[in-house]
Amino acid sequence: MFWVTLIIGIVGAAVTLALAGRRVLFLWKLFKSGQPDPERVLQVKRDPKADIEGQVVEVMGQRKLLKWTIAGMAHFAVMWAFILLATVYLEAAVALLFGLDAKIPGLQTWAPIGFVQDTIALACTLGLVVFAIIRIKNSPKKLDRKSRFKGSHTGGAWVILFMIFNVVWTMFFFRGVEWANGNLDYGKGAYFSWLVGQPFKGTSHDTLEVLESIGLLLHIGVALVFLVIVVNSKHLHIFIAPLNVMFKRRPDGLGPAQPMMSKGKPLDFEEADPDEDTFGRGKIEDFTWKGYLDMATCTECGRCQSQCPAWNTGKPLSPKMVILELRDHAFAKAPYLLASEEEREKFTDEQKTAMQVDKELVGEDGVIHPDVLWSCTNCGACVEQCPVDIEHIDHILDMRRFQVMIESSFPSEAGVMLKNLENKGNPWGMSEMKRLEWIEELDFEVEVVDEKLPEDTEYLFWVGCAGALEDRAKKTTKAVAELLHIAGVKFAVLGPMEACTGDPARRLGMEFVFQMLGQQNVETLNEAGAKKIVATCPHCFNTLANEYPQIGGNYEVVHHTQLLAHLVEEGKLTPVTPIEENITYHDPCFLGRHNKVYKQPRDIMATVPGVKTQEMHRHKDRGFCCGAGGARMWMEERIGKRINTERVDEALETNPDTVSTACPFCLVMLGDAINEKKNEGLAKESLEVVDVSQLLIRSIKGEKEPAAAE
């Protein structure tokens, strides 16, 4: 019996490893064919400690998955079962190669090990039950778009659950018979295996030998079949998710938009050649090897989709489906990509069609529909929620770059914004001299930089285009200026020397305009001697702090809520007058998810007497976008429900007297939606959207409305 078992096991293993190895080799070649991305490897070499931390926290600790408590705990149990039950397969290999009674001293005789193995296997089984319930309860057939599994390969997921269950029951069958045959030395430590073995007590030794051999082969056979399924399915993430976590970007928050790269180097616009260099992603072979790794790692869990503001308001964008469609296209085109020039010439037209050789990456009949590409607000909910650290925004932005810079294909209204940025230095096309008009409404002087910042200046106040030119945002600007004046903080503004940071251009995909504006601003800031900057707009804050270092601008940048919270804490600002209002706070995406500033705006409101705060059901890292990011502020929203309307509906559920925020874009978007609700009779006439700085100045000065807003 030993030799029969051994031959069957070895032959099965050889066939399986050959099939799996062939697939792994294909994937390796495909990943290797991607564009170079040397920074990913360099960051691992520079900071191996951060990589170890990522593996411990993200992979082993399942940090992101455990945010979804029940599903996270179930996945935690199943994942650790895979790791710990490898010891059972080690035991099975010993039994196969050396006989059923062979044992590894210490490992297979210490009862606590048997206890852990049985316990994690039972926890895994419970996890499978939880997964099954979740999938039935959230079936796309029942919930359609409300299901996070909409668009996922649900059939394949059920196959995997079935295969994991097979691993568990064959383990207990094999070990139960093993105990009855006297070959399981854990005793009652392996309590469930011992329990399964009870019905086999009294069976003849020869029969137990046969049953144990069958159980052994079944247990090994399930693993071998499982391996082939895994390397050919979405569950490949079992092996490559740790790699994706290792090579992810590592900012504190979502980080800056990446500079345009070509052949692994930053693109030089002055010397770039459209025929030789890569301008964004115009075809699947333009993606880097990390892009391919992202595609192959997607688990199809749909957490990104469930949080996406575009998907939640009836638009065609699903971050999950973008990755899956790119993946399927990459796999279809792979034989062509990996073929030599001679081999390509031999492909027939039918073969090329099957391989999607001539299929557009973005187009009406392309891999990605334009409406999908332009629905993205860059809010970062998808990246924040992804348990395997896929970088959806980077891929969407790179595809936008090709469409804008090479194809000149983008929503027409965004073209007006670009022209205004190029000609006037702001998205509205207003005169640069209008940037100083808000100062005239204050009763104190504001220092305007001529060439150099005065020596006693603590902060350069970056007002921003909205803060200087948009009426609602100007109220925030004046409130912040007055608060800094009251606190005795010396600050100055650039006035007409200030230009748009370039964020709308960059997030649209027009990198050239971003570079032009950015270099102009960096030159101005450096000549002025700016070291510390405070900004009221999270988009300006993010660009100045995270993206300008890419073009030589290195400054200490704070958001106004961070500075004001610090001044309140130091006692330089003291709110005294009660504001008896129920207030709900909206987290701006570029302040919250992009830069992890959640605490300070809430701290400011907490210091104002009388204020009662109530969170919307989606807040902080699960906050819902206002709809303005990703240059959407300057594009019409023609598909589905307006994102700002959806967000205001959530705010109204808290029955607020005031909605507060900390972003001029959010002020505009939420304000417009609230005005619509007022016209429909669905919101209080007194309901307003204000910046947290306006609440603070009201309490400090004892006014119903801040003086700056009059």
- Residue range 573-596, pLDDT digits in tens: 999 999 999 999 999 999 999 999
The average pLDDT across 95-102 equals 87
Assess if residue 333 is contained within a domain.
yes
Kind of pairing between the strands at 612-613 and 447-448: unpaired
Assess if residue 418 is contained within a domain.
no
pLDDT score, position 708: 38
Is the confidence at residue 159, as pLDDT, over 90? yes
Do 226 and 281 reside in the same domain of the chain?
no
Do 574 and 556 reside in the same domain of the chain?
no
Do 235 and 279 reside in the same domain of the chain?
no
| % of residues, the chain, pLDDT over 70 | 99
* Domain final residue pick, 513, 541, 566: 566
Low-confidence winner among 248-257, 437-446, 549-558 (lowest mean pLDDT): 248-257
Assess if residue 254 is contained within a domain.
no
Assess if residue 31 is contained within a domain.
no
Could you write out the DSSP letters of every residue in 656-677? -SEEEES-HHHHHHHHHHHHHH
Do 397 and 289 reside in the same domain of the chain?
yes
DSSP letter assigned to residue 299: -
Is the confidence at residue 338, as pLDDT, over 80? yes
Assess if residue 275 is contained within a domain.
yes
Half-sphere exposure of 524 (CA within 13 A, CB side): 20
Do 135 and 196 reside in the same domain of the chain?
yes
Do 333 and 477 reside in the same domain of the chain?
no
Q: Band the pLDDT of 185: cuts 50, 70, 90.
A: confident
| Model-wide pTM > 0.85 | yes
Alpha carbons 179 and 173: distance in angstroms, whole number: 10
Angle at 465 between CA 459 and CA 470, to 5 degrees: 115
Segment (H or E) for 462: strand 459-462
pLDDT score, position 613: 95
pLDDT score, position 273: 82
Assess if residue 252 is contained within a domain.
no
Segment (H or E) for 230: helix 205-231
Alpha carbons 165 and 129: distance in angstroms, whole number: 10
Assess if residue 251 is contained within a domain.
no
Non-local CB neighbours of 236 within 8 Å, separated by 6+ positions: 27, 230, 296, 297
Count: domains in the chain? 4
Which two structure tokens, joined as six digits, stand for 676?
Answer: 């619509």
* Domain final residue pick, 517, 546, 566: 566
Is the confidence at residue 347, as pLDDT, over 80? yes
pLDDT score, position 271: 83
Largest CA-CA distance found in the chain, in angstroms, rounded: 100
pLDDT score, position 110: 87
CATH code for the domain in which residue 285 is found: 1.10.1060
Determine how many CB atoms are found less than 10 A away from the CB of residue 552: 12
CATH code for the domain in which residue 97 is found: 1.20.950
- Residue range 297-337, pLDDT digits in tens: 999 999 999 999 999 999 999 999 999 999 999 999 999 99
CA 502 to chain centre: 23
Alpha carbons 26 and 557: distance in angstroms, whole number: 46
The average pLDDT across 41-52 equals 87
Angle at 319 between CA 313 and CA 325, to 5 degrees: 120
Do 178 and 297 reside in the same domain of the chain?
no
- Residue range 406-435, pLDDT digits in tens: 999 999 999 999 999 999 999 999 999 999
Q: Do 587 and 547 touch, CB atoms closer than 8 A? A: no
Assess if residue 27 is contained within a domain.
no
Helices (H), 339-391: 341-346, 349-354, 370-373, 381-385
Alpha carbons 111 and 17: distance in angstroms, whole number: 33
Alpha carbons 632 and 649: distance in angstroms, whole number: 20
Which two structure tokens, joined as six digits, stand for 276?
Answer: 């030789």
Do 63 and 108 reside in the same domain of the chain?
yes
Place of tokens 């890569």: 278
Non-local CB neighbours of 176 within 8 Å, separated by 6+ positions: 193, 194, 195, 196, 197, 198, 199, 200, 215
CA 263 to chain centre: 25
Do 379 and 491 reside in the same domain of the chain?
no
The residue segments making up the domain with residue 200 are 2-15+41-246
Backbone dihedral angles phi then psi of residue 510, each to the nearest 5 degrees: -90, 80
- Average pLDDT taken over every residue of the chain: 93
Alpha carbons 44 and 566: distance in angstroms, whole number: 35
The average pLDDT across 477-504 equals 96
Do 489 and 596 reside in the same domain of the chain?
no
Q: Band the pLDDT of 202: cuts 50, 70, 90.
A: confident
Instruction: Give the relative orientation of helices 205-231 and 86-98 as an angle to the nearest 10 degrees.
Output: 130
* Domain final residue pick, 410, 440, 457: 410
pLDDT score, position 704: 57
From residue 126, how far is each of 122, 129, 164, 662 by CA, in Å? Answer: 6, 5, 12, 44
pLDDT score, position 649: 97
Do 274 and 346 reside in the same domain of the chain?
yes
Is the confidence at residue 619, as pLDDT, over 60? yes
The average pLDDT across 42-52 equals 87
CATH code for the domain in which residue 513 is found: 3.40.50
pLDDT score, position 480: 97
pLDDT score, position 263: 85
The torsion angle over the Cα atoms of residues 602, 604, 605 and 610, rounded to 10 degrees, is 140
Do 562 and 595 reside in the same domain of the chain?
no
